[in-house]
Structure 1
């Protein structure tokens, strides 16, 4: 296990300990606060990553990419408005791949692409479904608020069994085929036990926040800083935050306006996840390109 992973495990269980002192409403407020800070921050430097990848650093290339990035965000929002079920489906698929890619980034470039993509996608989807089955009613309500479709109660457990089986079959094959990956696989399976405890004993938003911040956003920020500046340091972190400030402020202002427009918590949950999806689509693409570049 890496040094950061040990810190994340301790911090995760500390978060569960705090869970026993706060009401569900307080957990939601704290969870959103964490997502608004580190969660949005980890995706606020996408344009800087794009510029870094362009070795020629041609101005028109950056402007063109910026326009495409903004269009993707706008189109994502439009898709959520007109065809919400399709947008939600794509959000879950892209998020699953994005989460799994971050967790299994060491495989990229060293093993066949189909192995990297299959493990990353099934792992990320398994984590999301693991969170969902412990909070089925809340997830079904959010899905209904977004899509106006009432899904049967057995759907989420069934999907969990199907994709869980696919994931473990893939892992078993990889464990047998690639001996050098066995330690990595054992470590990730241990993390899944940690995630199971977190998701089962916490609320939906608080459990998601613990995973999203400690196990995805902060590790992603560390990877981005290494890519942009060569190493992690406090000075580089200040530079990272400074370059992300404008995008972060725009995102915070946007979600704050949504909150005051839709104060009902169920409606806000639905709109919040729609907002999160709109910025996730281009971010996931940029991070994939960054890992391939490395």
Structure 2
């Protein structure tokens, strides 16, 4: 079992242990703090990653910044005028992003489309597993974002359907990849860990545990290795230093939104819409990072 996975499991069960001591309101506060710290930071160095991928001589800083902001603003407009479509795209894109991060170092020797499909289905299964244990809260947040009553959605049925597809794709990968065969047992253990976390914790707390310890921190490690060649205290400090201004801008924006909207009971919806808007360009950048890294190692 990889060292980072050992730490993630340890941190997850520490989070579950804290669940018995923390009130639901406290879990929400601590969960938001984790998301706003490591969660936002892990996506705050996208411009630096693009520079590394494209090279300083082929693209300027301002062109990178303008393109990035354009994607974010497009996502904001989509959430403003076609929120149901934006929500659907956010779930699919996030699913792919979570799956890609989880499987990026576990080479699946298949054609690229099959790999992307498997990663998307895996990430979607994780999200639906979380949604299933917190169905009412999730549907309320989606209703707040889209303005559409979504009580007709049967999340358990969707979970079973996606689970069936995941099993079918897993059999395919098991027969085509020795790496997948080697990791299949431990991957089942991870899914069991996720199910326990999602069932026991509140929605925000459970999401924060998964998002931080199973996604954001592993992503930070991958980004630092890509940018600086190795993970070290010095390189971690360099990463935080370059990310600080973008992290600060994000935090200030969220704080302003909170004080404007705290009386309207829609902050959760706006918060997740904000996360969605900055997720779209981030997913593109991380995918390019993995492609560039893998091309160099082949």
TM-score greater than 0.5 by the shorter chain: yes
TM class by shorter chain equals over 0.9
Give the distance between the partners of 1:21 and 1:218, measured in 2 at CA. Answer: 25
Give the distance between the partners of 1:165 and 1:19, measured in 2 at CA. Answer: 31
Give the distance between the partners of 1:221 and 1:48, measured in 2 at CA. Answer: 13
Shift of 1:127: 0.2
Give the distance between the partners of 2:18 and 2:122, measured in 1 at CA. Answer: 28
Shift of 1:99: 0.2
Structure 2 residue 138 is matched with structure 1 residue 139:
yes
Of 36-45 and 104-113, deviating more is 104-113
Shift in CA distance, 60/222, structure 1 to aligned 2, threshold 3 Å: closer
Shift of 1:41: 0.1
Aligned to 1:150: 149
Aligned to 1:2: 2
Aligned to 2:210: 211
Structure 2 residue 258 is matched with structure 1 residue 259:
yes
Shift of 1:14: 0.5
Aligned to 1:180: 179
Aligned to 1:50: 50
Structure 2 residue 208 is matched with structure 1 residue 222:
no
Shift in CA distance, 129/215, structure 1 to aligned 2, threshold 3 Å: same
Structure 2 residue 97 is matched with structure 1 residue 98:
yes
Shift of 1:180: 3.5
**Superposition CA RMSD, Å:** 1.5
Give the distance between the partners of 1:174 and 1:142, measured in 2 at CA. Answer: 35
Give the distance between the partners of 2:291 and 2:186, measured in 1 at CA. Answer: 23
Shift of 1:108: 5.5
Write out aligned runs for 1:249-288 (5 A).
Answer: 249-264=248-263, 266-288=265-287
Aligned to 1:199: 198
Structure 2 residue 153 is matched with structure 1 residue 189:
no
Q: What secondary structure does 1:262 align onto?
A: helix
Aligned to 1:167: 166
Shift of 1:174: 1.2
Of 142-151 and 245-254, deviating more is 142-151
Aligned to 2:296: none
1:33-88, Cα deviation, whole Å (9 max, x unpaired): 00000000000000000000123x12754322221100111111111111111111
Give the distance between the partners of 1:163 and 1:210, measured in 2 at CA. Answer: 23
Aligned to 2:126: 127
Q: What secondary structure does 1:51 align onto?
A: helix
Shift in CA distance, 97/88, structure 1 to aligned 2, threshold 3 Å: same
Give the distance between the partners of 1:176 and 1:236, measured in 2 at CA. Answer: 39
1:172-214, Cα deviation, whole Å (9 max, x unpaired): 1211232332122222221111000000111000000000000
Contact 1:95 1:124 in 2 (8 A): yes
Shift of 1:150: 1.1
Q: Name structure 2 gaps, 5 residues minimum.
A: 294-298
Aligned to 1:71: 70
Shift in CA distance, 181/35, structure 1 to aligned 2, threshold 3 Å: same
1:136-167, Cα deviation, whole Å (9 max, x unpaired): 00011111111111113552112111111111
Runs of 4+ in 1 over 3 A off after TM superposition: 59-62, 107-111
Give the distance between the partners of 2:48 and 2:40, measured in 1 at CA. Answer: 15
Give the distance between the partners of 2:138 and 2:211, measured in 1 at CA. Answer: 17
Alignment: residue pair count: 293
Give the distance between the partners of 1:21 and 1:250, measured in 2 at CA. Answer: 33
Give the distance between the partners of 2:47 and 2:79, measured in 1 at CA. Answer: 24
Shift in CA distance, 164/264, structure 1 to aligned 2, threshold 3 Å: farther
